[in-house]
Amino acid sequence: MKRILGGAIAVVALVVGVAAPAAALDTSFQYVERASVGSVIEHCGELARTYVADDSGVEVTAVVASAVSVAADDGEPACELSGTIDGRVGFTVQLPTDTWNGRYFQTGCGGFCGYVPIDSCAAPLAAGFAVAAEDTGHADPTGGAEWGAMDADARADWGYRSPHLLAVSAKQIIHEAYGASASASYFQGCSTGGRQALSEAQRYPDDFDGIIAGAPALYQNYLAVLSQGGYERINRRDDGTAILTAEAVDTLAAAVQDACGGVDGVVADPMGCDFSPETLTCVDGAAADCLSPEQVDVVQRLYAPPVADDGTVLYPAGLPLGSESLWMGMAVGTDEAYSGGGGYAQNVLRYLAFPESPGAEYALTDFDPSTQYRELDAMAEVYNADDADLSEFAASGGKLILYHGLADALITPYGTVEYLEAVADKMGAGTVDNFARLFLLPGVSHCTGGPGEDTVDWLGSLVDWVENDSAPTQVEATKLTAGEIASARTVAAYELGSGTSWYSDWFASAGANPVGTGPVEPEAPAAEDTVAAPTAPVEPSVDGTAGAAEETAAPLLPTGESPARALTAVAFVAVLVGAGGLAVVARRRRA
């Protein structure tokens, strides 16, 4: 059998990246100008001590081992505190020494994390926010997932708990340092950080007044194994060789741009485009401007929601039109290496996907998604952030901004659309519109990058909404080249129930059953030495690094067997509009 490297280096930065960089904060308009609100820190070193916070009757202990003076990007002094929470979660808090604007900002982490991404807080710190970041409960500079093998606490921290522990502890530190509490608290994260963002809104609705969730990996256990891992499997023959080549993908990308009215590599409305991969089928043998029938079949399956043999739709959607130029290395690999998504999926399978970890010898191809997908349900209850009931967050006055790049080839944007529509099904579109908005960015890759305009002042819009009750109906997105604006685009908020073309039909056929309304037990009993799901409140609620180990490629899925997730109790079938681009969807949600 052909041996394949477990990942592609080219995508590591995308998969483990933290929150996408925000535009420069407009401190003269949306923020209190950088000036003291009356609280100052005179002796930074004295803040190196133990802080005990109350979390609904449970003590949370943060030990600050280091307290040093640093400078924000604008040169203003700050006090940087670093330590651990409950002996597990590494964190850093940065406090403006004498120009605190009274607010708190917390960033999410990316991939499997294992480091403290405090650099993602540079812009808010320079705007006068007290800021903080954490490592998701483990230290691992390699970005791997070995820490999760048979460790229930580590899994719970990465799954949902560490951002909450930091929020509780950081607020206590802020109160003791300044003698005053933050007037408003904000969270921003992308990818795994986007999942953390939604988990906070779902599990801990009082932690933050405003939350930004970018490209959220909200269906984590299903996304990694069944969507990202599914792309990799679909694109491989029984001998492990890749079916799509870079040349074939280039041909496909050019054809999609032409069919969908692409401008400068950006398809503005992928959901409204009618494109059939069959039009690229070679007629008289191989040629540079066409695809073989085998390649056309793979492309069709990559665009379509993955479906199991029993008709269960295992994940909300496939890859979006307009993302093709980003497929290589991100969604599909080569003969020699898995893509970033494939390598990430393999790490999840080895150390996180099941109650009992199979370990380093387990390969992506050892898992049969069509028959084993229910085995992912138990740990999905720990990791996933797909609870459609956000009523407590809304009742607390919280505001939520979601965003997703429409050319994201790592986490399909349509899963985020599906989630917000499920929230609307549960709570009513009018209610949701009062506290949640989604923005879909044409041509933008995973979190950032791609040919589209990827820079938006998300935090500025959120602060304006939370503090001035000015809901964002549109945002200004720009593309920066060497620090200068190369292009700009106004992006309107997604209108619930208005998905163009096939998508609105799909939602209409789905019924009103929300995503993530209850756990589903795995069919197979757990072994005696299985690590049980954490006993902390686990209400129903993805990304990573490319592994470096070599794997043996096993036989792939039979034709027509696309891996992904069971989403509901009843299957709904909808024929998607478009000649061959997206075929038939059998959609299931958990009851």
Asked if 419 and 432 count as a contact pair (C-beta separation under 8 A), the reply is no
**Cβ atoms within 10 A of the Cβ of 118, count?**
21
Structure tokens at 260: 């969908």
The pairing of beta strand 436-441 with beta strand 210-214: unpaired
Asked if 277 and 580 count as a contact pair (C-beta separation under 8 A), the reply is yes
Q: Phi/psi at 202 (nearest 5 deg)?
A: -85, -45
pLDDT at 548: 29
What residues have CB less than 8 Å from 41, skipping those under 6 apart? 47, 79, 95, 97, 98, 177, 178
pLDDT at 230: 96
- The secondary structure of 420-473 as a DSSP string is HHHHHHHH-HHHHHTTEEEEEETT--SSS-SSS--B--HHHHHHHHHHH----S
pLDDT at 498: 66
Distances (CA, A) of 93 to 6, 60, 128, 253, 473: 35, 16, 13, 44, 33
Per-residue pLDDT tens, the chain, 591 aa: give them.
Answer: 333 444 443 343 334 344 444 444 443 333 444 445 667 888 999 999 999 999 999 999 999 999 999 999 989 999 999 999 999 999 999 999 999 999 999 999 999 999 999 999 999 999 999 999 999 999 998 889 999 999 999 999 999 999 999 999 999 999 999 999 999 999 999 999 999 999 999 999 999 999 999 999 999 999 999 999 999 999 999 999 999 999 999 999 999 999 999 999 999 999 999 999 999 999 877 678 999 999 999 999 999 999 898 889 999 999 999 999 999 999 999 999 999 999 999 999 999 999 999 999 999 999 999 999 999 999 999 999 999 999 999 999 999 999 999 999 999 999 999 999 999 999 999 999 999 999 999 999 999 999 999 999 999 999 999 999 999 999 999 999 998 999 999 999 999 986 543 343 433 333 222 222 222 232 333 333 333 333 333 222 233 333 323 232 222 222 233 323 222 222 222 222 222 222 222 222 332
Closest CA to 212 of 393, 401, 394, 30: 401
pLDDT at 562: 30
CA distance 411 to 408: 6
CA angle 527, 530, 536 (to 5 degrees): 135
CA distance 188 to 207: 13
Please, is 268 exposed, middle or buried when counting C-beta atoms within 10 Å of its C-beta (0-12, 13-18, 19+)? middle
HSE, CB side, 13 Å, CA atoms: give it for residue 419. 33
pLDDT at 499: 53
pTM of the model as a whole: 0.82
**Cβ atoms within 10 A of the Cβ of 112, count?**
28
Asked if 280 and 296 count as a contact pair (C-beta separation under 8 A), the reply is yes
pLDDT at 14: 39
pLDDT at 39: 73
pLDDT at 40: 80
